[in-house]
Structure 1
C-alpha cells in the first residue's frame, strides 16, 4: 500500500517505521544533551547490540586484526564500541543542538594553517575521515568559523525517514548532496571547484576497489577521494572529531594535507592516518561495521 505525505511517497510500512524513529529521536531531544548521549549509548550497547549482533561483530573484527588482544579488553570493547556508536547518532540527530555544543571544540593538529591558506586561495578541500568518533564535528566546527562546509550523505531507502535525516544534517551545515543522485554529484563538484569543502568517509568495503593495508590486513578501499583531489587540484586533508565526554567536550584534529602523488599512495596514507586514530581511541572506532569482507579476509590470510 502506497502513502503520500507532501512530495514524499512510500509504503505504509515505511511511513510507520519513520514515525517510530522520528518519535524516538524527537523524544530524545527533550532530554539534556549529556543525558541524551548516555541514554542512547546505553540503549544501543545493552539492548540493540545484543539483538543485532554488534558485539560479536566487534569481536570478529578484533580477532582478525588484533588476535593477541586480551579477552578482558575484547569484552570491554564489545560494550563500549556500540555505546560510542549510539552516542554519535544521538549527536547527529540533535542537529543544531549538537552544533552548539561542538562549535567550541579544541582544534589540534598541524593542518589548520594549510586549511586557512586553502580558504584564502579559494581552493576546494576534500576532508577525509573514517567511521570514528563523531565524523560531523569538523563540519560543525568549521562552518562556524566561516568555512564553506558541505556534506555528502547516503540516502535512506525509507523516503520518509530520509527527509527527516536530511533536515537533521542540514541543521549542522549546508549544502548537502545525495551520494546516489547524479545531479547532486555534479553540484558537489561545482561546489568543490568553487572553493567549497566536503567530507568523505573512506573506511567502507568497496567491491572491486584496490586492496590496501589497514591494520595489517587487506581492505578494499575506494580511491575516489584521491582521484578527485588529483583531477581537480583539491587539497586532501585527514580530519577527526574526538569525543572526550558526554558534555559537549570535543576535539577537532586537522592533519596536514596528503601530498599529491598517485591515488593509491594517497589513499594508503589516508588508511594509515585513520588507523593511527583508531588505535589511539579504540572505543571510538566503529568496529561494528564490516570493514573486511570475505574476499579481503581470504586475501589477507593467503
Structure 2
C-alpha cells in the first residue's frame, strides 16, 4: 500500500490515477441526488456490480465455508444484499453532514454506554472495538456528537490517490486518525496514555494474529486491541451500528464491557458477540472480506 505514488511504476500510477478519477466522478455524480435516494441508489448499483466484480463469489465462498446449512435462496439473497450494504456505506461516508446528522440521531442501546460514561467520569482510557457491520462510522459519529471525542485506527487504501481523498473524508467525522503501521501505533498509544478513547475495527484477517474461532472456523485475529486495553487499564467495549429496516437510519448497539482477563479470552468474547449480532442481521456484515483467508484457496476467490 504505497504512500508515495513516485514509488510506483508509470503504468501503476496511471492505473491508480484513472481509477481514482472514475470513482470520485461516480461519487460526485451520486452526490447530486437527494440523500434519501442517493444511498439506496448506490447500494443498488454495487449490488448489481457484485457478480462481475467478484463480490458475490466472495460472499458465496465465505458462506459455503461457515454456514453450509443456509438454503440456496438465502445465499442468493445475501449475494445481493451484502454488496448493497457496502455500497450504502461507501456513499454515506461521502455524504458528509447529511450522514453525520443521521448518525447523531441514532438511539444508543446496550449496557456499554453506561460503561463508557463511567470510564470517562473516572478519566480512564477506553478502547472501543467494532467490525465491518452496518456502517461502523455511524457509531463513531454518534458518540463524538455525545461528547466522547475519540481517535480511530484506519488501514491505508492501496490506491494512493484515492487514499488521500478517503482520509480527508473520514477525518471530517472526527479526529485524530491513526494510520495502521508503526507511526500510527505510536500516536495511538500516546493518545491512550493520555486517557483518550480509540476505536478499532477488529474483524479483518490480521497478519501475525492468532487463529480464534469465528462462525465455528479458525479465523486469524488480532489480539492487539485487548492487549492495549490491558496495558493501559482501558475499558474494552464492543460497539456496532445496526442499519434499520428503512436502510437510512441506525441503532447504535453497545455490548457489555469486556472484563480484563487475558488478551485471547477477551478477543474470543469480541468474536462471539459480533457473531451473535451478525446471525441476527446476516446481510449487514461485510462477507466480501477474506476473513478465513487460509481456508479458502486463492484460486477459489476472486481478487479484490
TM-score for the superposition, normalised by structure 1: 0.90
Distance in 1 of aligned mates of 2:16 and 2:268:
39
Distance in 2 of aligned mates of 1:85 and 1:149:
24
**CA RMSD after TM alignment:** 1.9
Q: Tell me how far 1:232 sits from its aligned partner.
A: 1.1
Instruction: Label 1:124 to 1:207 Cα distance change in 2 as closer, same or farther (>3 A).
Output: same
Q: Tell me how far 1:247 sits from its aligned partner.
A: 6.1
Structure 2 equivalent of residue 51 of structure 1 = 52
Instruction: Label 1:3 to 1:267 Cα distance change in 2 as closer, same or farther (>3 A).
Output: closer
Structure 1 equivalent of residue 154 of structure 2 = 153
How do 1:13-52 and structure 2 match up within 5 A? 13-47=15-49, 49-52=50-53
Q: Tell me how far 1:165 sits from its aligned partner.
A: 0.5
Structure 2 equivalent of residue 219 of structure 1 = 219
Structure 1 equivalent of residue 193 of structure 2 = 193
Distance in 1 of aligned mates of 2:161 and 2:62:
33
Instruction: Label 1:183 to 1:43 Cα distance change in 2 as closer, same or farther (>3 A).
Output: same
Partner-residue secondary structure (3-state), 2:240: strand
Q: Tell me how far 1:38 sits from its aligned partner.
A: 0.8
Once the two structures are superposed, what CA deviation does each residue of 1:115-157 show, in whole Å capped at 9, x if it has no partner? 1111112211111111111111111001111111222111123
Instruction: Label 1:268 to 1:106 Cα distance change in 2 as closer, same or farther (>3 A).
Output: same
Partner-residue secondary structure (3-state), 2:51: helix
Distance in 2 of aligned mates of 1:187 and 1:205:
23
Q: Tell me how far 1:19 sits from its aligned partner.
A: 2.1
Structure 2 equivalent of residue 7 of structure 1 = none
Instruction: Label 1:100 to 1:217 Cα distance change in 2 as closer, same or farther (>3 A).
Output: same
Structure 2 equivalent of residue 207 of structure 1 = 207
Q: Tell me how far 1:185 sits from its aligned partner.
A: 2.1
Distance in 2 of aligned mates of 1:245 and 1:25:
24
Structure 1 equivalent of residue 63 of structure 2 = 62
The answer to whether structure 1 residue 71 and structure 2 residue 72 are counterparts is yes
Distance in 2 of aligned mates of 1:296 and 1:74:
17
Structure 2 equivalent of residue 254 of structure 1 = 254
Q: Tell me how far 1:12 sits from its aligned partner.
A: 3.8
Once the two structures are superposed, what CA deviation does each residue of 1:146-190 show, in whole Å capped at 9, x if it has no partner? 11122211112322211111111011111111112x333212111
User: Which consecutive residues of structure 1, in runs of 5 or more, have no partner in the other structure?
Assistant: 5-9, 298-302
Distance in 2 of aligned mates of 1:295 and 1:59:
14
Contact 1:125 1:235 in 2 (8 A): yes
Contact 1:105 1:251 in 2 (8 A): yes
Distance in 2 of aligned mates of 1:231 and 1:20:
44
Structure 2 equivalent of residue 300 of structure 1 = none
Q: Tell me how far 1:83 sits from its aligned partner.
A: 0.6
Partner-residue secondary structure (3-state), 1:239: strand
TM-score for the superposition, normalised by structure 2: 0.90
Partner-residue secondary structure (3-state), 1:89: helix
Distance in 1 of aligned mates of 2:269 and 2:247:
33
Figure out how many residues of one structure are paired with residues of the other and give that number: 289
Contact 2:61 2:296 in 1 (8 A): no
Contact 1:219 1:296 in 2 (8 A): no
Once the two structures are superposed, what CA deviation does each residue of 1:207-256 show, in whole Å capped at 9, x if it has no partner? 34211111111111110100111111111110000111456421000112
Report the more deviating stretch, 153-162 or 273-282.
153-162
Contact 1:102 1:248 in 2 (8 A): no
Report the more deviating stretch, 26-35 or 244-253.
244-253
Distance in 2 of aligned mates of 1:207 and 1:171:
29
